[in-house]
Amino acid sequence: KAAIDSLDALNDLKDATGASIENISALEDIARRTGTSFDTVGAALIKLNKALTTAKPGSDTEKAINAIGLSIKELKTLAPAEAFQRIAVGLSKFADDGNKARLSQELFGKSLKEIAPLLNDVAERGQLVATVTTAQAAAAEAFNKQLFNVQKNAGDAARTLANELLPTLNEIAAEYNSANGAGTSFASFLGGVLR
């Protein structure tokens, strides 16, 4: 179930970012091999999408993108994971100093502490290699939906059974409270009910 959920999580991130399952799986593969969480991959893509979407001509974001040798216009034409990979490679050409940190901070905000290692790992890998296909992720999503449907139906059946038993359970509880008030022990009461 955990493996299926991890495949299905790719669908959720695809819905949130517009990145392909294949590219998300490639980033996830790099992250998992280097100890970075899938949540960090998601945060990175979401932050980058926001930065690219809200960047205005002449803005600090545009200046940061230009400083690493890329253009916002070009990055907007790429899939989100590919744009992330290009930025990672561009940033890798900078020395690990304050300038690189400021450029990265402009693009990824406060979550940079978690995203910076992923940027380094993606740049080091150089290219994105998919590990999951869209069809595999769709199959995981279909399984989870079926499982949720079974759980919902089981819950409905349990409610129906409980509704049928409630009048009897209420009578037993009332009799116990009455017997308890009269000083009857629970064991004696239970013995009387079971006869």
Q: Nearest-5° angle of CA 150, CA 152, CA 155?
A: 110
Closest CA to 123 of 51, 32, 45, 27: 27
pTM of the model: 0.68
Each residue's pLDDT expressed in tens, for the chain with a length of 195 residues: 888 888 888 999 999 988 999 999 999 999 988 888 899 899 999 989 888 888 888 888 899 899 999 999 999 999 999 999 999 999 888 877 777 888 888 888 877 778 888 888 999 887 888 888 888 888 888 888 888 888 898 888 888 888 888 888 888 888 877 877 766 666 676 666 665
Sign of CA dihedral 105, 99, 101, 86: positive
How far apart are alpha carbons 131 and 117 in whole angstroms?
Answer: 21
Sign of CA dihedral 110, 56, 126, 3: positive
